Structure 1
């Protein structure tokens, strides 16, 4: 008969460190009145013995649950999983959130909620009651949903809103990924290549960040002395089909754009397909930039120039703000901006570079 290895308990840690059970408990729960020397001594025993604190035991020792709950859009997340689209928003969110939570002895769980569901209050309320999280991270479009925000406030649960600037006064820690600045960066790159007619495919209006990206496009076009004309702007819905319709609208104009910025990778993939249908070469006839920088953009032909959104870093920052923050900061009014960067690949070039090279 194979014997199960005896689990290391708090008693083993106390005996190894030569301290009381109460002292070990205070160290595990980060109680303030433990000296640095004692903290180091107990932590050394924890590391040496490989002790892993039980969440159940931690919850019994105080009012904390040691759980951070992340709320993501159910419909879009499940659709992406089922279609195996290669989007990695959830992966990056879990990477940043779980890694940061581990530093505080926390666990991060994810709950999928349909923001358009009439039963959202009942469903989310049941999850909050069952899990009793110490904090909640909300992703777009939930981060702008007054019903969800009011429910969290009613439960007196601190929350962080990714994709919100907090200007609506609905509370929480607001975190943005510099959507406006990223759009400006993309336009700036294309202008430097010589483009003047730069189209933009926006995301749906129920995402606040969609408007910020359009604002950035308009502002940088104006800064370059260019007109952000109506025929250069089309709206999609973050899906391939929506992106295809928007791309056809832009490329079907009498004076088509020489470059397009798509607000996510799926709409950029669709734009690539529409360009091929119309006999347009990318980047010879049309330059293309997208948001997200998910893994698939590296394997298109050509690989897509993309705004890399720091999802993992932003989620980690949300955890840090919920569980600690920085000295002197007031989380309820804090706005955190985590800027992305432009990854230049083969989908952008000077306008009509291919045709010019053959003449």
Structure 2
């Protein structure tokens, strides 16, 4: 309410009268308040809800889009909230992998925080988020100081590259994720560190920059595999991008893992169903959601005494998509 009042240049009492459609407010002032509500992303019904109670006993989950990763996270969130007295509202963009202006996380939080919800979980935001109510981030932006839960992305990436090196691969391509995310940066660092520790030179031409969007991996994988000195293995920073790499390789007539080994990161359900099954890193998406919800509940209640960031262990899952190098390119 105070944000709307400040932007509109009126009192919170005036904002209350406008959102509750009470008399005594001029037409010009109503327009000012409505414009402020629109600019900040508030919905009047949500603002009115917050006026009736200081606590809603509702938590929010804000995400860019709904996909396998988010669904697994949600399972953990729901289990953590079971019989807790908190309900959950989910706010997701309807345009899967669509492009829209930066700052989506902040706009969604403005609509929910302190109005309909007592606190929010934000999944993989592209930048730092701010809110007047507690927020916990899953996979934070680089440099974020907001309470967060993440996997040990560096250790997971190091393990999968060491696995490929152990099979005999020397030319290992890498398809990176969204650069603004700490997880993407840590996975690339793990890739680079594993190669350096094995004495394998890092070839910048084998590093391609995606966005975690599976479709972003298609042209990148094709460019790597069209090279005369193509890699014998590709590690993609997410399962979605790895599965797209499998698809591209098959379309080029390459056998996996005979001609090319492919590995991912996440261990989404589809990775086990692929043909061949995808070697990947299990970051326990369920646990990410569970721990984020557990932290948020305590922050809302004021009794959280744990660290500001929880880092969960990862586990290498070896399946049929990786093997010793086969035919020479």
**Greater share of helix residues, 1 or 2?**
1
CA distance in 2, matches of 1:122, 1:277: 41
Q: Secondary structure at the match of 1:234?
A: strand
1-structure distance, mates of 2:251, 2:73:
35
With normalisation by structure 2, the TM-score equals 0.74
Q: 1:128 — aligned with what?
A: 113
Matched, 1:65 2:56: yes
Alignment deviations for residues 99-121 of structure 1 (CA, whole Å, 9 cap, x no partner): 10114222222112588356865
2: CA distance, partners of 1:234 / 1:212? 15
Residue 216 of structure 1: SS of its match in structure 2? helix
CA 1:123–1:233 in 2, change beyond 3 Å: closer, same or farther?
A: closer
Aligned partner of 1:101 in structure 2 is 81
| Structure exhibiting the larger radius of gyration computed from Cα positions | 1
* Superposed displacement of residue 172, structure 1: 2.4
In 2, the alpha carbon distance for the partners of 1:250 and 1:119 equals: 32
Cα 1:226–1:299 change in 2 (3 A) is: same
Deviations 1:9-61 (A, max 9, x none): xxxxxxxxxxxxxxxxxxxxxxxxxxxxxxxxxxxxxxxxxxxxxxxxxx999
Alpha-carbon separation, structure 2, partners of 1:119 and 1:194? 44
Whether the 8 Å contact between 2:238 and 2:266 is mirrored in structure 1 is yes
- Per the alignment, residue 91 of structure 1 pairs with 71
| Cα 1:138–1:298 shift into 2, 3 Å | same
Say if 2:200 is the partner of 1:200.
Answer: no
2:76 & 2:206 partners in 1: Cα distance? 36
Q: Secondary structure at the match of 1:302?
A: coil
Taking the aligned partners of 1:311 and 1:121, their CA distance within structure 2 comes to 23
Q: Deviations over 1:193-229 (max 9, x none)?
A: 1111111111122333211111110011111111221
User: Is the CA contact 1:231–1:253 (under 8 Å) kept in the aligned structure 2?
Assistant: no
Per the alignment, in what secondary structure is the counterpart of residue 169 of structure 2? coil
Q: Are residues 1:110 and 2:110 paired?
A: no
Gaps of 5+ in 2: 1-49, 94-98
Contact 2:232-2:260 within 8 A present in 1 as well? yes
Query: Residue 239 of structure 1 is aligned with which of 213, 221, 233?
Result: 213
On the 8 A contact 2:214/2:241 being kept in 1, the answer is: yes
1:184 pairs with one of 147, 158, 172: 158
Which residue number corresponds to residue 349 of structure 1? 323
- Counterparts in 2 of 1:93 and 1:115: CA distance versus 1, 3 Å: farther
CA distance in structure 2 between the aligned counterparts of 1:172 and 1:240, rounded to whole angstroms: 28
Structure 1 counterpart of 2:123: 139
With normalisation by structure 1, the TM-score equals 0.68
Question: What's the C-alpha RMSD, in Å, of the aligned pairs?
Answer: 2.9
- 1:220 is the counterpart of 2:194: yes
Q: CA deviation at 1:267?
A: 1.8
Q: Does the 8 A contact of 1:71 with 1:136 survive in 2?
A: yes
* CA deviation after TM superposition for structure 1 residue 63, in Å: 4.2
Look up the match of 1:340: 314
Match of 2:137 in 1: 161
- Listed as ranges, the gaps of 5+ residues in structure 1 are 1-58, 78-86
Alpha-carbon separation, structure 2, partners of 1:123 and 1:135: 12
Q: What is the CA-CA distance between 1:130 and the residue it aligns to?
A: 3.5
Q: 1:162 to 1:344 in 2, by over 3 A?
A: same
Distance in 2, matches of 1:264 and 1:123, equals 25
For 2:218 and 2:137, how far apart are their aligned partners in 1? 30
Which residue number in structure 1 is paired with residue 287 of structure 2? Answer: 313
SS at match of 1:291: coil
Contact 1:304/1:346, CA 8 A, preserved across alignment = yes
